[in-house]
């Protein structure tokens, strides 16, 4: 050892002692400090809590260098603490800078609140460190929690949370988080009993959350979701500023107004951050039903994105086994019924049926994008396809698509194709240069045909503006059946306009044409007419109201009706849609071949369309049916066309079609005419118009195809009397007969064809009285069988019996045989009457009543006994004998009847004439009495009477007596006997009325008769001269021959 080494050894020993003493002092200090660690720590914690204003209670159970344990920890208001823990244990690492490496806790209860999107823990908030500005990171702490629960109050409601788990928070933690709540409400949405049971794991500082989130129900407004559930799986970034995951969704029924899903499921994937989140979505709904439409499945597959305040979802929507409800399909089919009876009926029916069948099962696919642009929703459909099980399909695409929501407005750009399955086939191309600009396009639709009908449209060019104005032009060619007929190749140009919701068609006149039109036997060919609008459009629709109409002038149509030629013309034709009514002016119709033309004219004819029928009124009607010799005029009434039948009802006037009318104008009432099945039928009742006397019931049938027809007239009975006479029905009786009393009945039938007209009838009377030119006729009875009723021609040998004819000399119980001939002629085969013990016979003759002329009849007298003849005239004091024969030629004309050279001659043997009464001297005086007594009874060998003159006027009668001698009972004397030897011939000329002739003969031997007939007239004349004239009723007149 060296000296230096020896010197350093003591110093080292002193240093060691010093260090030992210091160590012992430090250990003693540490031991003192350790013994006082709990009070020191308590004072430090209390000062820190007090500085932060946080009330707290706790107990330090253990306080070591690495392990610390607190029990009965209460932080916050003791009455309502924010945190309560049974115990909390931490572990520290003292290697280097001390830090907490582990936390364990027993039963923990927390209170929190969600305020303005942030969680507040009450008093605990004041213990949390201020934000450092560094990204969030989970601490490297080993956490073990058995039962940590939190009551979190939110604006939606109270949520209960429960956390348990263990592991290092930045890597390896595993635990569970449960959340439960009562009903929560936000806005109009309410969740019922939401729950969540989530698994929490942390790996490499990145948390992951997975588990189900369930609701008993979700209601938002009128939308209800039953038992929605989402199984989420979310991976967060270590800083919790990014995420990635998915949610598997599943619900029971989803019900909204007008829509329902039996179930909804799918998966939504997402990734991103608070600035941008995006992902994929696959959703599938089961048994969808919405507003009359349903689907087996409804699915969406696509992507979505939320960024910068905008949301976007794009993908494909597919619906399988879709179907429109049966009532809705039925409405589609029934809607086609509105075209019933029109050429569009087969087309509308076929299209509606095909559409309804296609709507029974079809699939839908569409590429959609839904998003927001600012505060506006934005919908874009790039393409869409509909395919039905029937083969029908429709697709849209080949362009920018349909876009709703752009700032400029709606945009349409693409091509729509459709067809198949019995539906029309077509293509509509839409182009639009920019959103909100004018849409232009062309629609090309193939000719559509069904059940004999077809519709062809030329390519339709159209434009549509953002303001809603649409213009479309095309030419339609239509063929198809009508109710009871068909239309072939009707061509009509169409120009459609839509302005502010108002739809109008053809604001200018257009030419229309029809190649052929048939309707209930009506056939029109090659018809062309110019149609013009009414009220600015041929058709308009504005605010639910239909307007406009069609007008045409100078319409002329040619064709056939029931195979018969037809010509129709009308000065004006108008149709108005609003009233479904039309009006025609000056209508003329000519039906039939030239040999049998039916003519119908109407001054006005109007009608309406309602309940599948066309009906209206007519006025100013006139015409003639075929060859029926009746002219119709002043027709007015109503008409109806339904089920292929045209019916008319009303009243009209009927006249004779002959150049010289055979009857006066008659009024036809309760007329009913029907045109159906190529036939015209009519019935009505004829009246004399002035006095409404019923004349006949008439029925008519006319076949248009053959031109054949028939009319039946039933005359139940026309009663003539003081108030009604035959001349009020026909001029033919005027001047021929008058003062007719009795009843005439019968029936008639008229038949016609292109070959001509035939008519028959039977008319008769049981008793008819009348006045004729030759005198009064009573008791006419008989029946006339007409072989040509219109020509007033009867069968030969018609018989009429006459009770009495009295041209001045009454003849009774007569029988006349005759035949009515054409041109108002009567062939009299003969007539026969018993007459004064003999006969009065009318010789055959021909009477012509066709024009004013003389008509001659000759009566033959055979075996008339003078005594019976005088008895007829009540000559009580006059007796005559003798049998007379002769002829009485009579002539009748407009002035009446007269006898021309009528001759009666007594047969061989002559006769006598005697006065049987008494005559005194006072009567005739002495010489007169002597003469009368000598001549009161005469016999004659020859007696001839010649008569000339009118029956109703002065008759000139020449009487020639020859071979006169005194008869039995006459007194004789010298003078008389001398006179009888002379050859006397008496020529007596008498001018007097026809009946006055008989009076002259009676008064020659019976002056009293002469006095009786003339005295009243003499007295009346004397009275007239003595006093002013007075009017005496005919009933009080003193009649000739009265006794007084």
pLDDT digits (tens, 9 = 90+) for 659-710: 778 888 999 999 998 887 778 889 999 999 999 999 999 998 888 777 788 9
831's tokens: 């007539």
- Of the candidates 599, 686, 596, 606, the residue with the CA atom closest to the CA atom of residue 638: 606
User: Has residue 386 been placed in a domain?
Assistant: no
User: Which helix or strand (DSSP H or E) is residue 301 part of?
Assistant: strand 293-307
Window from 198-202, 417-421, 1003-1007 with minimum mean pLDDT: 1003-1007
What is the count of structural domains for the chain?
3
Q: Is the same domain home to 963 and 999?
A: yes
CA 513 to chain centre: 26
- Of the candidates 1005, 1012, 999, 1041, the residue with the CA atom closest to the CA atom of residue 809: 999
Polymer length of the chain? 1044
Q: Is the same domain home to 945 and 1020?
A: no
For the beta carbon of residue 1006, count every other beta carbon within 10 angstroms.
Answer: 20
Predicted confidence (pLDDT) per residue in 720-763, tens digit: 988 898 888 888 777 677 888 999 999 999 888 877 788 899 99
Predicted confidence (pLDDT) per residue in 302-339, tens digit: 998 888 777 888 899 999 999 988 888 888 888 777 67
Predicted structure pTM score: 0.60
Window from 149-158, 250-259, 505-514, 801-810 with minimum mean pLDDT: 801-810
Distances (CA, A) of 496 to 499, 543, 738: 10, 17, 74
Predicted confidence (pLDDT) per residue in 950-971, tens digit: 876 777 778 787 766 655 555 5
User: Has residue 806 been placed in a domain?
Assistant: yes
The DSSP code for 725 is: -
Beta-strand pair 99-115/142-154: parallel
Residue 59, pLDDT above cutoff 60: yes
Q: Is the same domain home to 1001 and 1029?
A: no
Predicted confidence (pLDDT) per residue in 593-628, tens digit: 777 778 889 999 998 877 767 889 999 999 887 777
Distances (CA, A) of 6 to 9, 11, 12, 13, 866: 6, 10, 11, 12, 230
User: Has residue 720 been placed in a domain?
Assistant: yes
DSSP assignment of 756-770, as one string? EEEEEEEEEEEEEEE
Phi, psi of 275 (to 5 degrees): -80, -35
User: Has residue 571 been placed in a domain?
Assistant: no
Per DSSP (E only), the strands in 389-484 are 393-404, 411-420, 423-432, 439-445, 448-450, 453-457, 460-464, 470-482
Q: Name 483's Cβ contacts closer than 8 Å, sequence gap at least 6.
A: 340, 341, 519, 520, 643, 644
- Which pLDDT score, from 0 to 100, does residue 774 have? 66
Q: Is the same domain home to 733 and 755?
A: yes
Q: Is the same domain home to 951 and 1017?
A: no
Distance, CA of 222 to CA of 729 (rounded, Å): 85
Q: Is the same domain home to 969 and 1040?
A: no
Q: Is the same domain home to 1017 and 910?
A: no
User: Has residue 302 been placed in a domain?
Assistant: no
Direct distance between the N- and C-terminal alpha carbons of the chain, in angstroms, rounded to an integer = 226
Phi, psi of 923 (to 5 degrees): -75, -50
Q: Is the same domain home to 998 and 1014?
A: no
Phi, psi of 17 (to 5 degrees): -65, -40
Q: Is the same domain home to 1025 and 961?
A: no
Helices then strands, counting H and E runs in the chain, come out as: 9, 67
DSSP assignment of 190-244, as one string? EEES-EEEEEEEEETTEEEEEEEEE-SEEEETTEEEES-EEEEEEEE-TTSSEEE
User: Has residue 790 been placed in a domain?
Assistant: yes
- Which pLDDT score, from 0 to 100, does residue 493 have? 92
Q: Is the same domain home to 889 and 980?
A: yes
Distance, CA of 977 to CA of 985 (rounded, Å): 17
Q: Is the same domain home to 971 and 993?
A: yes
User: Has residue 678 been placed in a domain?
Assistant: no
Span 258-273, average pLDDT: 89
Distances (CA, A) of 306 to 235, 301, 455: 18, 17, 51
Query: What domain range includes position 1044?
Result: 1010-1044
3-state secondary structure of 24: helix
Distance, CA of 694 to CA of 717 (rounded, Å): 8
User: Has residue 956 been placed in a domain?
Assistant: yes
The DSSP code for 820 is: E
| Cα-based torsion angle of the residue sequence 859, 864, 870, 874 in order, rounded to the nearest 10 degrees | -80
- Of the candidates 941, 938, 943, the residue with the CA atom closest to the CA atom of residue 965: 938
Q: Is the same domain home to 990 and 874?
A: yes
């Amino acid at each position: 050892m060296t000296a230096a080494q020896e010197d350093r050894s003591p110093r080292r020993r002193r240093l060691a002692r010093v260090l030992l003493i210091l160590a012992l002092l430090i250990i003693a200090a540490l031991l003192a400090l350790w013994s006082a660690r709990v009070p020191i720590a308590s004072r430090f914690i209390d000062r820190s809590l007090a500085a932060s204003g946080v009330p707290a209670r706790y107990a330090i159970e253990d306080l070591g260098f690495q392990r610390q344990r607190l029990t009965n920890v209460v932080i916050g208001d003791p009455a309502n603490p924010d945190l309560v823990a049974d115990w909390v244990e931490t572990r520290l690492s003292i290697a280097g800078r001390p830090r907490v490496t582990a936390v364990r806790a027993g039963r923990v209860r927390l209170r929190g609140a969600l305020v303005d999107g942030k969680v507040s823990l009450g008093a605990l908030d004041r213990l949390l460190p201020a934000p450092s500005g560094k990204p969030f990171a989970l601490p490297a702490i080993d956490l073990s929690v058995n039962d940590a629960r939190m009551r979190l109050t939110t604006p939606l409601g109270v949520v209960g949370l429960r956390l348990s788990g263990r592991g290092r928070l930045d890597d390896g933690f595993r635990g569970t988080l449960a959340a439960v709540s009562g009903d929560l409400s936000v806005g109009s949405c309410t969740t019922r009993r939401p729950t969540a049971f989530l698994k929490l794991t942390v790996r490499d500082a990145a948390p992951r959350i997975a588990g189900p989130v369930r609701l008993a129900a979700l209601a938002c407004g009128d939308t209800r979701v039953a038992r929605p559930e989402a199984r989420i799986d979310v991976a967060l970034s270590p800083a919790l500023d990014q995420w990635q995951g998915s949610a598997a969704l599943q619900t029971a029924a989803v019900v909204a107004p007008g829509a329902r899903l039996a179930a909804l499921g799918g998966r939504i994937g997402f990734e991103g951050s608070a600035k941008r989140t995006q992902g994929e979505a696959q959703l599938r709904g089961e048994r969808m039903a919405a507003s009359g439409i349903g689907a087996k499945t409804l699915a969406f597959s696509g992507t979505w994105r939320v960024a910068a305040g905008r949301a976007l979802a794009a993908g494909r929507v597919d619906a399988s086994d879709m179907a429109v409800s049966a009532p809705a399909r039925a409405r589609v089919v029934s809607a086609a019924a509105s075209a019933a009876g029109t050429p569009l009926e087969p087309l509308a029916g076929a299209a509606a049926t095909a559409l309804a069948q296609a709507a029974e099962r079809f699939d839908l696919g569409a590429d959609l994008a839904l998003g927001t642009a600012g505060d506006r929703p934005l919908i874009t459909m790039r393409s869409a396809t509909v395919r039905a099980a029937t083969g029908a399909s429709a697709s849209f695409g080949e362009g920018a698509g349909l876009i709703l929501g752009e700032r400029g407005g709606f945009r349409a750009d693409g091509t729509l194709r459709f067809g198949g399955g019995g539906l029309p086939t077509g293509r509509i191309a839409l182009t639009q240069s920019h959103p909100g600009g004018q849409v232009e396009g062309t629609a090309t639709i193939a000719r559509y045909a069904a059940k004999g009908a077809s519709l062809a449209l030329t390519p339709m060019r159209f434009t549509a503006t953002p303001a809603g104005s649409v213009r479309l032009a095309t030419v339609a060619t239509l063929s198809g059946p009508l109710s009871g007929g068909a239309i072939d190749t009707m061509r009509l140009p169409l120009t459609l306009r839509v302005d502010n919701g108002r739809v109008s068609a053809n604001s200018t006149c257009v030419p229309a044409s029809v190649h052929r039109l048939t309707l209930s036997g009506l056939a029109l060919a090659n018809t062309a007419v110019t149609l013009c609008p009414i009220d600015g459009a041929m058709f308009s629709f504005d605010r639910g109201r239909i307007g406009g109409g069609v007008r045409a002038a100078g319409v002329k149509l040619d064709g056939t009706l029931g195979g018969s030629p037809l010509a129709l013309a009308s000065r004006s034709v108008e149709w108005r849609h609003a009233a479904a009514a039309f009006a025609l002016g000056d209508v003329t119709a000519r039906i039939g071949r030239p040999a049998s033309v039916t003519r119908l004219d109407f001054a006005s004819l109007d009608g309406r369309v309602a309940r599948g029928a066309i009906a209206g009124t007519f006025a100013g009607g006139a015409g003639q049916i075929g060859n029926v010799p009746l002219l119709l005029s002043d027709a007015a009434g109503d008409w109806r066309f339904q089920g292929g039948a045209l019916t008319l009802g009303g009243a009209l006037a009927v006249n004779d079609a002959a150049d010289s009318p055979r009857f006066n104008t008659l009024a036809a009432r309760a007329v009913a005419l029907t045109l159906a099945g190529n036939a015209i039928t009519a019935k009505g009742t004829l009246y004399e118009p002035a006095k409404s006397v019923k004349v006949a019931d008439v029925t008519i049938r006319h076949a248009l195809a053959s031109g054949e027809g028939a009319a039946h007239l039933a005359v139940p009975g026309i009663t003539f009397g003081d108030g009604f006479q035959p001349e009020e029905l026909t001029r033919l009786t005027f001047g021929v007969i008058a003062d007719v009393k009795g009843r005439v009945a019968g029936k008639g039938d008229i038949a016609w064809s292109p070959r001509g007209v035939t008519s028959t009838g039977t008319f008769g009377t049981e008793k008819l009285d009348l006045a004729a030119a030759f005198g009064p006729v009573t008791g006419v009875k008989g029946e006339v069988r007409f072989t040509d009723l219109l020509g007033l021609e009867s069968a030969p040998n018609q018989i009429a019996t006459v009770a009495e004819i009295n041209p001045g000399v009454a003849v009774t119980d007569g029988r006349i045989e005759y035949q009515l001939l054409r041109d108002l002629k009567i062939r009299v085969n003969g007539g026969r009457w018993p007459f004064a013990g003999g006969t009065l016979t009318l010789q055959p003759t021909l009477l012509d009543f066709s024009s004013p002329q003389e008509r001659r009849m000759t009566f033959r007298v055979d075996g008339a006994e003078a005594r019976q003849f005088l008895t007829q005239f009540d000559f009580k004091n006059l007796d005559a004998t003798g049998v007379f024969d002769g002829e009485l030629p009579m002539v009748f004309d407009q002035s009446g009847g007269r006898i021309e050279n009528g001759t009666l001659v007594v047969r061989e043997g002559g006769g006598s004439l005697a006065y049987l009464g008494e005559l005194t001297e006072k009567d005739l005086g002495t010489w007169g009495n002597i003469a009368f007594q000598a001549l009161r009874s005469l016999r004659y060998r020859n007696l001839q009477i010649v008569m000339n003159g009118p029956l109703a006027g002065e008759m000139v009668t020449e009487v020639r007596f020859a071979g006169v001698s005194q008869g039995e009972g006459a007194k004789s004397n010298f003078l008389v006997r001398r006179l009888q030897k002379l050859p006397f011939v008496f020529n007596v000329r008498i001018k007097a009325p026809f009946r006055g002739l008989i009076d002259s003969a009676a008064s020659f031997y019976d002056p009293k008769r002469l006095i009786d007939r003339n005295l009243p007239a003499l007295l009346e004349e004397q009275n007239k001269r003595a006093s002013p004239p007075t009017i005496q009723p005919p009933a009080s007149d003193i009649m000739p021959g009265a006794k007084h």
